[in-house]
Amino acid sequence: MPFALLRHAPTVWNGEGRLQGLTDTCLSREGEAAARQWRLPPPADRWKRVSSPLQRARRTAELVRPSMPVALDSRLREMSFGIWEGFTVKELRAAGGETFAAAEAAGLDFHPPGGESPRMTMARLSQWSSTLTEPVVAVSHKAAIRALLALATGWNMLGRPPHKLDWTCLHFFVAQGGGRVTIERLNVPLTP
């Protein structure tokens, strides 16, 4: 079953480089303006729309054209960064020293205190994709989409990802049997 993923439009915290996780931030003024200009390319422009319940994703799903009703699915939410939400990686590296460096070196098992690992996020999205019965455009979040990329490619989340994702583009995948996912096309521009 084909599906497409779109990262929400920018927030103030995105501009500041802060980990948002489950903190329910809204789109920035610039993010609202950008999402209003985005238009889904065919065939995704005719697909059902579903979104993370976090307002930055939900609002993006409502603004992207063509306009369409939006269903919410909590499995599309961002990875929880626990007590690290609201901080930048630079701040966490400075304060956490070797402890934070060890956490970063864990790849798929990077697990913020009180949060969720990429492996856990990947399992949640695998389960979501296995329930698709029709093509959808899903509006989600950067860490969640990176976890899905890891699922599709076998990337262990150490080093650079196997594909560079443009966060202002649409990414097409195919849900296979048993919760597997494959890449169809990445970085498909949203027509202005």
The set of catalytic residues is: 8, 78
CA distance 108 to 92: 18
User: Cβ of 18: how many Cβ atoms within 10 Å?
Assistant: 20
Give 125's contacts (C-beta < 8 A, 6+ positions apart): 75, 76, 144, 147, 148, 151, 181
Residue with tokens 């695998």, as numbered in its chain: 126
Pairing relation of β-strands 136-140 and 2-7? parallel
Q: Which residues of 94-106 are buried (b: 16+ CB within 10 A; e: fewer)?
A: eebeeebeebeee
User: CA angle, 42 as apex, 25 and 7 as ends, to 5°?
Assistant: 20
Report the first-to-last Cα separation within the chain, whole angstroms: 27
